[in-house]
Structure 1
Amino acid sequence: MSDTLEAPAEPKQGIIRRLYAWTISWADRPGGTWALFLIAFAESSFFPIPPDVLLLALVFGARDKWAKYALVCTAGSVLGGILGWLIGWGLAESVAKPLLGLFDPDGHTQEQIQTWYAEYGFWGILIAAITPIPYKVFTVASGLFHYNLPLLIGASIIGRGFRFFVVAGIIRVFGPKIRPYIEKHLEWWFLAFGVLLIGGLFAIKFFGH
């Protein structure tokens, strides 16, 4: 029996912090634009760090390129979302369910996505694409539930594009002075928008009868 002991596994939060720092580091390295695309792509199915953090850093460093970075981020996210859908659709037991168990262990987010889709269809997918719901859970669950792929792509282009262009555009207009506020309250902005959108859809449905 060996006297050596294996090092304890690194706590999950420690791994997340390291991945966050690695993601941010691409803002000061060659290939930052490609890194943004690949991180946005990967985040749509399995990577835990949202691409917003690198998008923020890149736009703060080159505000005149805000639209380019937002477009790159949107393209990567939408294409990665297709991969996430395919994982849910074709690899349900081997990959999709374990992945969803990692990022949504209680299944609450998946239930919310099902409810929105059943109630609002395309608009329900759009809500999920804009709000702080982990996009990877949204795309993989959509494939698992066999939601319409073209519908997913269309809603993702609008929802993710809205999110990233709004973030980059705000930085372009207000500059560094907005940084502490946007980093602290970004998700609340989109959550509030999602609530307003849900309220509007409910009102249309209720008063339309």
Structure 2
Amino acid sequence: MKIFGAMYDKTMQWSKHRYAAFWLSFVSFIEAIFFPIPPDVMLIPMSMSKPKNAMKYALYTAVASVIGGMIGYALGYYAFDFVQHYIQQWGYQAHWETAVSWFEKWGILVVFVAGFSPIPYKVFTICAGVMQMAFLPFVLTAFVSRAARFLLVAKLAAWGGEKFAAKLRKSIEVIGWSVVVLAVVAYLILR
């Protein structure tokens, strides 16, 4: 059953859309607050299809993510009782407990690490507000971390460019199904 190739083709087509940069920024913004899909899924194809714009796309992504992170921080700071219900409902409770223990142990350093962590970034932005982390250090550290991550991702994708995109397309079904199998196995092991 071949489904990933069509999805890949559509994603590459969308990455060239005239409003792609806006949607990339929007996804990055809402991902830092509540959206479950990281902006990398847009940043990578956009950087591969337009390598000359990759650094610009990375900067848009970082700035939007930090602005979204500030909203997440405010939610944690002012409305945690409301947000706590959604953390449990969306299945982020274990991630939340990890983030809290990391904040207690390492403080501001956690915000830097969070930019690269597989734990959803929104967990850290909200947690920073709940823990009443100093706001300016939070914003500065978040920007450095997110910019470093997205610049690295964009640069690697741009480096591969259209040639890598074509090679990736040839293997996309194997990669896609491998990820599905790994996700199912991880779910079965971790539940």
Structure 1-normalised TM-score? 0.69
Higher RCO by CA contacts (8 Å cutoff, separation 6 or greater) = 2
Please, what is the CA RMSD of the aligned residues?
2.6
Which of 66, 81, 84 is the matching residue for 1:97? Answer: 84
Are the aligned partners of 2:49 and 2:162 in contact in 1 as well (CA < 8 Å)? no
Q: Of residues 111, 114, 118 in structure 2, which corresponds to 1:128?
A: 114
Q: Any unmatched runs of 5+ in structure 1?
A: 1-20, 185-209
Compared CA separation, residues 23 and 142, structure 1 to 2 (3 A): farther
Q: Match for 1:109 among 95, 102, 118?
A: 95
Question: Does 72-81 or 131-140 show the bigger shift?
Answer: 131-140
Larger radius of gyration: 1
**Structure 2: runs of 5+ lacking an equivalent:** 1-8, 176-191
Letter of the 1:141 partner, please give it: C
Q: Structure 2 residue aligned with 1:156, among 142, 165, 168?
A: 142
Which letter does structure 2 place at the counterpart of 1:146?
Q
Task: Quickly say closer, same or farther: Cα 1:22–1:75, change in 2 above 3 A.
Answer: farther
Identity level (%) = 28
CA distance in 1 between counterparts of 2:141 and 2:11 reads: 26
* 131 and 143 in structure 1: CA distance in 2 versus 1, 3 angstrom threshold: same
- Whether the 8 Å CA contact 1:24–1:53 is kept in 2: the answer is no
Structure 2 length-normalised TM: 0.74
- Partner residue, 2:159: 173
Shift of 1:25: 6.5
> Does the 8 Å contact 1:60/1:175 carry over to 2?
yes
| Counterpart residue number, 2:67 | 79
